[in-house]
């Protein structure tokens, strides 16, 4: 294989990887919607955030653009802050029931 064919093969592999992560994000989103408990929903939303982060990184590698990595970093920071906010809210909400 020459360099051009390998580049085409790598582009196709990265495109299939993006589709795989997108499909698993949809499945996780369904779990977030129908999850019976708050813990199920929070876990599913964390999985969706991680899968979207992975999509951003794979697209950055495929396109050769580092700006997508900056977006992925900011997205990850906001996802972590959102997870902390949900955990704090639901811990207070559950403590009020007891």
The boundaries of the domain holding residue 17 are: 3-97
Are 54 and 68 in contact by the 8 Å Cβ rule? The answer is no
The H helix count followed by the E strand count for the chain is 3, 0
Q: How many domains does the chain divide into?
A: 1
pLDDT at 37: 87
- The mean pLDDT of 60-77, rounded to a whole number, is 90
Sort 51 into a burial class: Cβ within 10 Å, 0-12 / 13-18 / 19+. buried
CA distance 90 to 77: 20
Residue 9 has pLDDT above 70, yes or no: yes
What's the pTM value of the predicted model, to 2 decimals? 0.80
pLDDT at 39: 84
Question: Residue 71 corresponds to which tokens in the numbers above?
Answer: 């977006």
pLDDT at 60: 92
Residue 27 has pLDDT above 90, yes or no: yes
């Amino acid at each position: 294989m020459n360099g051009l064919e390998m580049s085409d093969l790598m582009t196709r592999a990265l495109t299939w990887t993006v589709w795989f992560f997108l499909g698993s994000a949809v499945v996780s989103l369904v779990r977030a919607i129908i999850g019976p408990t708050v813990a199920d929903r929070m876990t599913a939303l964390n999985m969706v955030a991680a899968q979207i982060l992975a999509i951003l990184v794979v697209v950055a590698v495929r396109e050769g653009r580092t700006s997508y990595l900056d977006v992925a970093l900011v997205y990850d920071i906001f996802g972590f802050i959102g997870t902390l906010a949900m955990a704090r809210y639901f811990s207070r909400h559950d403590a009020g029931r007891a």
